[in-house]
Homo-oligomer: A and B are copies of this chain.
Amino acid sequence: MKRRTGLAALLSACALGAVSTAWAASPTPPMDSRALEAKFDAQINPAEMGTWLKLLAAEPNHVGSVHDKTNAEWIAAQLKSWGWDARIETFDVLYPTPISESLDLVGGPGAPFKAMLTEPPVPGDQATYTKDALPAYVAFQGDGDVTAPLVYANYGMPDDYLALERMGISVKGKIVITRYGGGWRGLKPLLAQMHGAAGAIIYSDPKDDGYATDDVYPKGPARPPHGFQRGSVADMPIYPGDPLTPGVGSTKGAKRIDRKDALTILKIPCLPISYADAQVLLASLDGPVAPAGWRGSLPITYHVGTGGAGGGQVHLAVKSDWSQKTLYDVIGTLKGSEAPNEWIVRGNHHDGWVMGASDPLSGQVALLAEAKAFGVLAKSGWKPKRTIVYTSWDGEEPMLLGSTEWAETHGDELKAKAVVYINSDSNGRGFLRAEGSHAFQHFVNQVTADVKDPETNVSVRDRLRASLTVRAAEPGANEQARTAGKIAGDPAKDLPIAALGSGSDYSAFLQHLGLPSLDFGYGGEGESGGVYHSLYDDYQHHSTFVDPGFVYDAVLAKTVGRAVMRLADTDLPVQRYGDFADTVSGYLEEVKKLADTTRDAARAQAKLLGSNAYELAADPTQPHRPPTPLTASPPMNFAALDAAVARLKASSAAFDTALAARGEGLSKAQRAKLNAVVRPLDQSLLRPEGLPGRPWYMNMVYAPGRFTGYGAKTLPGVREAIEERRFDDAQKYVGITGQALSAYAGELDKATAIVNGN
């Protein structure tokens, strides 16, 4: 569901991670499994994966569609045929579908004009002639029928509203049009609503994924003029899953809250539109010329609009069917031979917005290829020591429904048994992207050093390393790219992995249950992201532009399959806690720096306000206002976090050292005892109070940002409180986060004691 393209995807693998040095010292995988892995690789058949993808992507497969259920049944049948214990688990969730919707320009230049709101078929691509595609729609918007002046708010992110304020333009009672990009979709109408807007429109600017990025489909991969991006606008940073069952599984008998009390459902109507439609609306605007950073690639002068009678007047109406729909999660199990109650859980969703070829079926066919290969290995005598649980989620697109409801339903069991959750989603040709819990950073480096990149014949890890170093040396490389290149340039060091935010099915596992999680994918070559969540994300597009020959879909299977096998069979923990401690220590430094820059910004602004500089610097012929004064930032006391991080570092070092020295000598019983302590270790990062205003998110290290959505916020209780100038919260969460990290260190000490035979 999350969209990643090009450089962003590539760099995310290197953002903010810590650096480790032990890779060169331990070049072999943690178990002797090379022969087994070669056998596994031999089972991965890209051509067969292509036939699966064609079948699964043959018809629209969104929640509630016929093909969605058919796909689940087919996946379950395949797993069974490969020797898995497979079943479908259903949930009944609130899932609105459109009854009627319209968007018209009813006044101002260009009126009257009616937005198309459907995507035309593409000659030569038979699949696009379907009648069953959802129209332009965003799930969990608020029904309504409003007519109001239009205002353009760029990406619709918090900084954009500050800029509007400086221009003296209010969106109160207006319909806000924003473009996709710059932050998660769901925040755009939410922030519009928070600022008093009556309705919201989101369009895909050609600058961001249309003709400005590449030739448009079918000539190239980019978004054609009438393509639009569907998606969810539920307030996921509050909680994902069924809006009516926060924190519990939406099983038949579950207690449901009233829809009007569901915090995650938007209150204003919202529609996504194409750039062909948006051009007419944007051209109708009056008022100031949009700031330079707000301008897209349409052949018009972008204006902000005054929200008055002189510019575009828009009629927006949306009505939905708010009935419950059924989710079909497929759960397959391959029972462990030695530790059946220790689970390696791996998942990828199967529902799409229309055909969903790249998103999510490219990852789904990797999961299937892995499952089939494990079946073959199992039939030829291999049994995993731990239980392998393969999950094919439904309803990820509307808001991680299938994974969240399943995780909430089976939370206790998962907390008791799960070692790790490994996710994938959209996939394509290009470079490795690996994110997740940092104790697994070294493990990820080991796994990806053993997977060959098909375009270059070096490992996928070495190819990523090369790319990071080259990008850092390009003219105009930014600070982040240069830092990433510096780390990557030392072949003795592991490549850092980035923290997980949200946007795919790992969220409930990592952030609600406290299970270590990993997410893998490939991409960054050939694609433009331009068919994301559109009708045109189909078999022809994926096989022509995103992953011709399904070569990287197969590489994904080899990567994740390898990780699953090693984790299923390892006798000793693969974690290296020093990497986690170093990473958290880096996060703490960032947060302290943030506190300083936040304080400096308030002081600098006060000085500018005091000297009337904003007024003097403004063009008096343009509407302008000085900014609202920032709250002064009190001094903060980081002692509790400093102490906790110091303890974490010491405990991590002690564990890593002990395990390296004495791990191999541990008896089977000692190993079992050790694994029993290590397995639930990350749950000590959970605090029962959760994050301020969103208690569902209990992990004190990793969370999706309240106002970034997909983007991760680390040490979120502290970091976000400083960003939002809730300084009391910030100080409070210094203590709470410190407690979590200390608890974690305490558990680590227990593990170390076991290794040391105490």
Stretch at the interface among A228-236, A513-521, A600-608: A600-608
Q: With CB as the reference atom, state the residue of chain B lying closest to A220.
A: B301
Residue A612 is within 8 A (CB to CB) of chain B in the complex: yes
Q: Please encode chain A, from 580 to 618, with 1 for each CB lying within 8 Å of some chain B CB and 0 for all others.
A: 000000000000000000000100110110011111110
Kindly state the separation between the CA atoms of A214 and B613 in the bound complex, as whole angstroms: 26
Are B466 and A613 touching (Cβ within 8 A)?
Answer: yes
Which residue of chain B is the closest to A613 with respect to CB atoms? Answer: B466
A301 & B216 in contact (Cβ 8 Å cutoff): yes
> What per-residue 1/0 map shows which CB atoms of A289-318 lie under 8 Å from chain B?
100110101111110000000000000000
Q: Given that A456-B616, A616-B456 are contacting pairs, would A621 and B526 also be in contact in the complex, using a CB cutoff of 8 Å?
A: yes
Q: Mark A464-478, 1 if CB is under 8 A from B, else 0.
A: 001101110101100
Closest 6 CB pairs of A and B: A466-B616, A470-B617, A466-B613, A467-B617, A299-B299, A525-B619
Residues of B within 8 A of A696 (CB): none
Q: Which residues of B contact A579 (CB under 8 A)?
A: none
Q: Which residues of B contact A87 (CB under 8 A)?
A: none
Contacts of A463 in B (CB 8 A): 616-617
Residue of B295, B458, B616 near A212 (CB, 8 A) is B295
- Max chain B CB contacts within 10 Å: which of A471, A475, A526, A616? A616
Provide the residues of chain B in CB contact with A299, threshold 8 Å: 206, 211, 297-299
Name A206's closest neighbour in chain B (CB-CB): B299
Specify which chain B residues have a CB less than 8 angstroms from the CB of A471 in the assembled complex.
Answer: 617
- Given the known inter-chain contacts A212-B295, A289-B214, please indicate yes or no for A616 contacting B467, CB distance below 8 A: yes
Contact (Cβ within 8 A) A489 B607: yes
Q: How far is the CA of A300 from the CA of B604 in the complex (A)?
A: 43
Determine whether the beta carbon of B222 is less than 8 Å from that of A475.
no
Q: How close is A60's CB to chain B, nearest CB, in angstroms?
A: 28
B-side contacts of A467, CB under 8 Å: 613, 616-617
How far does the alpha carbon of A211 sit from the alpha carbon of B283 in the complex, in Å? Answer: 12
Interface positions, chain A 217-267, Cβ under 8 Å from B, are: 220, 222
What are 15 of the A-B contact pairs (CB < 8 Å)? A211-B301, A213-B301, A214-B289, A214-B301, A220-B289, A222-B301, A293-B476, A458-B616, A463-B617, A466-B617, A469-B608, A470-B614, A470-B617, A473-B601, A525-B621
Instruction: Tell yes or no: A321 within 8 A of B by CB.
Output: no
Give every chain B residue within 8 A of A601 (Cβ-Cβ).
473
Within 8 A of B (CB), among A481-504: 489
B300 & A211 in contact (Cβ 8 Å cutoff): yes
**Given A213-B292, A215-B289, 5 additional A-B pairs, CB 8 A:** A211-B299, A211-B300, A213-B289, A467-B613, A469-B611
B contact residues around A469 at 8 Å (CB): 608, 611, 613, 617
A413 at the interface (CB under 8 A from B): no
Q: Which residue of B lies closest to A275 (CB)?
A: B299
Residue A125 CB within 8 A of the other chain: no
**A211 CA / B290 CA spacing, docked (Å):** 12
Whether a CB of chain B sits under 8 angstroms from the CB of A32 is: no
Residues A605 and B212 in contact, CB atoms below 8 Å apart: no
Contact B621 A473 (CB under 8 A): no
Instruction: Tell me the nearest residue of chain B to A627, going by C-beta.
Output: B473
Query: Which of A211, A473, A621 is most buried by chain B, counting CB atoms within 10 A of its CB?
Result: A473
**B-side contacts of A526, CB under 8 Å:** 619, 621
Contact of A613 among B206, B430, B470, B614 (CB under 8 A): B470
For A10, the closest partner residue in chain B by CB is B617
> Is A27 an interface residue, CB under 8 A from the partner?
no
State whether the Cβ of A693 lies closer than 8 Å to any Cβ in chain B. no
Residues of B within 8 A of A617 (CB): 463, 466-467, 469-471
A606 to B453, CA, bound (A): 24
Check B211 against A608 for contact (C-beta < 8 Å).
Answer: no
Q: Is the CB of B462 within 8 A of A616?
A: yes
Within 8 A of B (CB), among A441-470: 455-456, 458, 462-463, 466-467, 469-470
Interface residue A159 (Cβ < 8 Å from any Cβ of B) = yes
Docked complex Cα distance between A297 and B302 (Å): 12
Q: Is A620 in contact with chain B by the CB < 8 A criterion?
A: yes
Q: How far is the CA of A297 from the CA of B159 in the complex (A)?
A: 24
Nearest to A166 among chain B residues (CB) is B474
Cα A489 to Cα B301 in complex, Å, equals 34
Q: Are A301 and B215 in contact (CB under 8 A)?
A: yes
Min CB distance A121 to B, Å, is 21
User: Which residue in chain B gives the minimum CB-CB distance to A601?
Assistant: B473
Min C-beta distance of A614 to chain B, whole Å: 6
CB neighbours (8 Å) of A608 from chain B are 469-470, 473
Chain B residues positioned under 8 Å from A302 (CB to CB): 212
**Nearest CB of chain B from residue A394's CB, rounded to whole Å:** 35
Q: Is the CB of B289 within 8 A of A466?
A: no
Task: List the B residue with the shortest CB-CB distance to A7.
Answer: B292
Q: Chain B contacts of A611 at CB under 8 A?
A: 466, 469
A225 to chain B, nearest CB (A): 9
A721 CB → nearest B CB, Å: 20
Expressed in whole angstroms, the minimum distance between the Cβ of A38 and any Cβ of chain B is 23
How distant is A298 from chain B, measured CB to nearest CB, in Å?
7
Q: How far does the Cβ of A495 sit from chain B's closest Cβ, in whole Å?
A: 14
* Chain B residue with the shortest CB-CB distance to A463: B616
Q: How near does chain B come to A588, taking the closest CB pair, in angstroms?
A: 24
Name the distance in Å between A25's Cβ and chain B's nearest Cβ.
Answer: 21
Pick the contact of A301: B212, B466, B525 (CB < 8 A). B212
Specify the chain B residue showing the minimal Cβ separation from A473: B604
Point out the residues of chain B lying under 8 angstroms from A616, CB to CB: 456, 458, 462-463, 466-467
User: Considering the chains assembled together, what is the distance between the CA atoms of A456 and B526 in angstroms?
Assistant: 53
C-alpha spacing A701/B648, complex, angstroms: 56
In angstroms, Cα B603 to Cα A489, docked, is 13
Q: CB-CB < 8 A to A604: which residues of B?
A: 473
**Cβ of A445 to closest chain B Cβ, rounded Å:** 17
CB distance from A103 to the nearest CB of B (A): 22
Query: How far is the CB of A204 from the nearest CB of chain B, in Å?
Result: 14
What separation, in Å, do the CA atoms of A211 and B613 have in the docked complex?
Answer: 30
Flag if B466 contacts A612 (CB, 8 Å): yes
